[in-house]
Structure 1
Amino acid sequence: MRRATLRTTHGSADAAERVAAALRPDNTDEMTTRVDGDAVVTTVERESTGGLQSTVDDYVVNLRVAAQLAERHDESTKP
């Protein structure tokens, strides 16, 4: 089994929660996502290195979109 853990920070626990919530629906059975303070931590397990790479690549694309949306939300709610 191959495993990768990705940890990204998002400035606040609220932003991390929003990012994690946006990512979870796309998780496969081999993925877990959790929030640790202002960080989103996702672990991916796959049988092959190629499968792991493909899954991580897809995850990073989804993460980028989720983080951009969370950032826009934060900007739109500033006083």
Structure 2
Amino acid sequence: MSRRATIRTDCDDPDLVAQSLDPDNTDEMETTVERDGSSGEDGTVVTRIDRETTSGLRSTVDDYVVNLAVAIDVATHARNGQHAEPTDAGPASDSDTDSTHDTQ
């Protein structure tokens, strides 16, 4: 007998969140996006997990929830965009020398 869990998460950018989760999904997991039809952008990320043991299901769900939180955080920051002007990160090199070399 297998153990199953379905995790439904409403979020602002479900496609980006689902794509972010996909590389970490195992063969026992399937992530899809469901839309309610009224809005083209909002939706629900739905992940179904199927494992043979209760402890395996619990471990997979724990890992998934951590990954989900990170994916939502990244999607939120990506949606908010970058400032119009980049932040100066300082010099590209610690040395003050020119990078030209004599090739004779």
Q: Letter of the aligned partner of 1:4 in structure 2?
A: A
Match of 2:59 in 1: 54
Cross-structure match for 2:26:
28
Using the size of structure 2 for normalisation, the TM-score is 0.69
The one of the two structures with greater contact order (alpha-carbon pairs below 8 A, sep at least 6) is: 1
Q: SS in structure 1 opposite 2:73?
A: helix
Q: Secondary structure at the match of 2:27?
A: coil
Is the counterpart of residue 16 in structure 1 residue 14 in structure 2? yes
Aligned letter for 1:26?
A: D
Q: What is the aligned residue count? A: 74
Structure 1 portions without partners, runs of 5+ = none
- Show structure 2 runs of 5+ residues with no match: 36-42, 83-104
Instruction: Give 2:73's aligned residue.
Output: 68
Matches of 1:71 and 1:25, distance apart in 2: 19
- The separation in 2 between residues aligned to 1:76 and 1:30, in whole angstroms, is 34
Runs of 4+ in 1 over 3 A off after TM superposition: none
Structure 1 or 2: more strand by fraction: 1
Rounded Cα–Cα distance in structure 2 between residues aligned with 1:48 and 1:23: 22
User: Aligned-pair distance for 1:73?
Assistant: 1.2
The Cα of 1:3 is off from its aligned counterpart by 0.1
In 1, the alpha carbon distance for the partners of 2:69 and 2:6 equals: 16
Calculate the aligned-residue CA RMSD, in Å.
1.0
- After TM superposition, give the deviation of residue 74 of structure 1 in Å: 1.4
Give secondary structure in 1 for the equivalent of 2:26.
coil
